Structure 1
Amino acid sequence: MKPLFIIVILVLAITVIIIIVAKNNADKEENILNFLDKMEKEKKEKIIRMPAAAGQFYPAEAGELKEMIRSFLLKANPPQGDGELAVLIVPHAAYQFSGEVAAFGFKEVALNKSAGFETVILLGNSHQEHFDGVSIFAEGKFKTPLGEVEVDSELAARLLKENKRFFFGQSAHQNEHSLEVQLPFLQEVLGNFKIVAALFGNTSRDDWKILGEAIAKNIGNKKILVVASSDLSHYPSFEDAKEADLKTIQAILGGKPEELEKTLRDLEKKGIKNAITFACAEEAIKSAMFLAQKLGAAKIELLKYANSGEVALGNKREVVGYAAIGFFKEKTSGNAFELKLSLSEQKELLSMARRAVESFVRTGKIPSFQTKSEALKQRRGVFVTIRKEGQLRGCIGQVGASEFPLSEVIPEMAVAAATEDERFWPVQESELPDLKYEISILSPLVKVNNWKEIKIGEHGVFLRNGLRQAVFLPQVAVENNWDLKRFLEELCVNKAGLEPSCYQDKAAEIYVFTAQVFGEN
């Protein structure tokens, strides 16, 4: 019996050992898989494209860079674009040469911030690496001295699946300056946005259309801005450059990519002394023009032209041409927003709002303000929003035009937002340094007959249903990533105190408006 008993015990022990070993191996395999998944996620998160042009094309120190960009924007005075900006062509030389021209384009972006751009599609031609196809940055972030900009990996992934000519070649982007130099301007005027960065490899004359079609197919309802990065003529004399660039610009203003291509080929045949190209990112420009057609941006305006011979550091023997050109869509009928405050006027109003709140909290008095700006004497509907550490701290305003000018009503609304918003305790003096101010200047209200006419990111909504009424500013839907139905349901429930479907009631009256929205950085 004893030998048999010992054998049974040994078998049981061996079985237990086998089970334990098998479990340990399974746990190890699961741990390995989890580790690999974690590594893959971290790899994606760690793809950060570091700045290659900082310190050469623009200042590497954040404060100096901000100051330079703001000085350019303050000087920029583009013609008032009649419509909503959809596509932009801007130069990409060192800021001391082309920054002032680029600022005219990005000033338009600032003036169109109320459009709620979610993603900026950057188009350029590779200057550093020769390859076949289009390199689209797949995921990760682009870093500049002003911070990091996230890649719209979802849209990038859809594009990469569209055509075999599209791929992610990280090395193509690594040292490329043409897209990078646009980012600090965009960070200054937009703040929160994502990008899709696409570089043409300069080997196919058809890629521009292939990419344009892919983008148009995949953007859906996403609010995009297309920015093509290109300089014009390279190295002819001052006068030759002006003459050649004029022809190139006229072709772009004509809106037909094929005509631009013909113009550039004709210029190349002229044998202009020292000229090596007349548009260093021809494919990027043509793709942008193609997208403008698809987006219905039929109004094209030259915002600014100059060449390197016109700046202090330049010479007129060999120059490079620069142009900022905007493509505009028509705004919703009856809802045009004529008032466009300049950056200096925006800054003045924001200063009034801050000073009014700080004075009232400390002394109980609202100071009076004087302004020389005629725009700030207009009467408009306004809202003032106050945030603390990124969170809402108060928001009050009025939808209809005030009987008082902007320079008077905005200080009043700022103090009301700080002290009378029933959702919050009044602002205390200790909080003042942590507050950030945002102002929304509203267009006149326009009644819509069907709620489906409302455009997310463009329209604010004023709802009246019986004795209840409520308002949401245009940026609310964008900030919360709401679709139209959710936007209106939230308005009904949380603002009007009604059922989620109240906007569909026969008694409901719906009005839309646009807004010029600007705030402290």
Structure 2
Amino acid sequence: MSIKGIVVSPHPPILIHQIGRGEEQRAVETIKGLHKTAEFVRDVEPEVIAVVTPHGNSFSDGACILDKDHIEGDLSDFGYYDYKLGKNTSAKLMIALKDELLSSDLNYIFMKDSDAIHYRAKIKLDHGAVVPLYFIEKYYSDYEIIHITPGMMDLKDTYRFGMHLGEAIKKSGLSTLILASGDLSHCLKDSGPYSYAEEGPIFDQILVESLKQKRYSDIVTMKSHLYEPAGQCGLRSVIMALGAVDGMETNPMVYSYEGPFGVGYMTAKIEVLDEKDASLWEILANGSYGTTPDITENEDDYIRLARKSMNTWVKTGVQLRWEEYKKGLKDKKFINEVEGKRAGVFVSIHKDGQLRGCIGTISPVTQNTAKEIIRNAVEACSFDPRFPAVEPRELREIEVKVDILTEPEKVSSKEMLDPKNYGVIVKSGYRKGLLLPDLDGVDTVEEQIEIAMHKAGIQAYEDYEIYRFKVIRHQAKK
């Protein structure tokens, strides 16, 4: 059996005495847990440690694997100048991982020195790697590494990457331990690095208890409205490690959890047993765990048209033809509505409750509303500069919303505005900034105008005009 186990480790440099200078004693249970994880590593004697750390070179849509024969790191950024660590990269496992990923549709980069120059990145052991390895080195040092940073990949893609890692380890034949480096919430106290957020303690409790009770599915399917405000950095490391042991029988043990500095620290090990277990990925891929049966079930004709346009473009690169699409429609009223008028349209797409793309037109630029929807659905899924283009594997998880705009009318005072009922357009010369109505987190007229001005690059001292409009919003009923 090639995978010897998983250790989960936090990585605050303050835990090392030469940096903490006594403050580390406030996290004594975490230090004890780190020594226990190091003893576990010593006992299983891996040839390779696959280090999964959030603080390497992080990309928004893919993983980064450092591709260099020898990688070094230190703790000089934290005032400890005498400690340096260098480890050889496992050439055999790197070859196996490269071969394995060729068959995947995931985004990744094997970063060489030339790539690091291009991306203004560094090929080094970051503190997310050095701190856990500092404790491991006290017990065991006869190992090579591979260094992986998950970036901000979708959680399920992160799990799938872990599955490919597990297959590569198996094919390499090298005994390998996976180090999942990461802190939990940074928002446990106002005195911590970030302000307190109520999601912080909840996130930590769910992650710790789910690991203890082997409810890995609760970790992989966690919603972004929980883990994003929690300000954590360890979730994807844990998920990638779990993906590597998909289909294997495991025995998890949490050694410690505490949050003495306003940041959650968990230490844990996951033993890998010989027995085979059911594949969590098969459950997730079939949509039989914690998901709605059909995300499109309660969509109206407007949303279906936008979704069909998006799906057609993402899968084929060809724009949907309205004349062909309408032949399959039975609702003549809908056809008459969208063919009989022109209007500005915004198409918004969301995934896991988070915006994935939003593009629209203030005034119509096509022949009718139907073609406006088709056009803007394509723009939203593939050409919103804030996001990478939607990929085919994401389509089943995308929620679609369509807003049909009324004709904008100029307002003479802010009293004529209402962020719940009216969208706003701020115009100065050729620059225009638009904000739709009834958006989460936009509660006042002042906020609405400020955001619209920022989008247009209009400064407060400039002359500008304000317009309001209403929308007919089409979104699936919950």
Structure 1-normalised TM-score?
0.40
Rg (Cα) greater in structure: 1
Structure showing the higher helix proportion among its residues:
1
